[in-house]
Amino acid sequence: MKDLGPVYVILGIKLIKKNDGIVLTQSQYIEKLLRKFNYFDMKHVFIPHDSSTKLKKNLSKLIFFSYKYYQIIGFCCI
């Protein structure tokens, strides 16, 4: 085994050492996905959210997702 020095990125997770601990972030992975699917240069928008809205579980048996969605979330078995 060989010591390669401090770890900065491992398995797509960036490690940032702080005085009070370690921060784990997947910002590099998300940026890679945004670039791959040409969403990186999209404009940011503010979407207001009503915090009093109660979400319910989708009980529908038929749920259709696009192939592109499956690619983005990493589901490769379709």
Please tell me the distance from the alpha carbon of residue 27 to that of residue 47, in angstroms, as a whole number. 21
Predicted confidence (pLDDT) per residue in 47-56, tens digit: 888 889 888 8
Tokens encoding 47: 């979407």
CA dihedral in degrees (72, 31, 55, 57; nearest 10)?
Answer: 20
Predicted confidence (pLDDT) per residue in 20-76, tens digit: 999 999 988 888 888 988 888 888 888 888 889 888 887 766 556 677 777 777 776
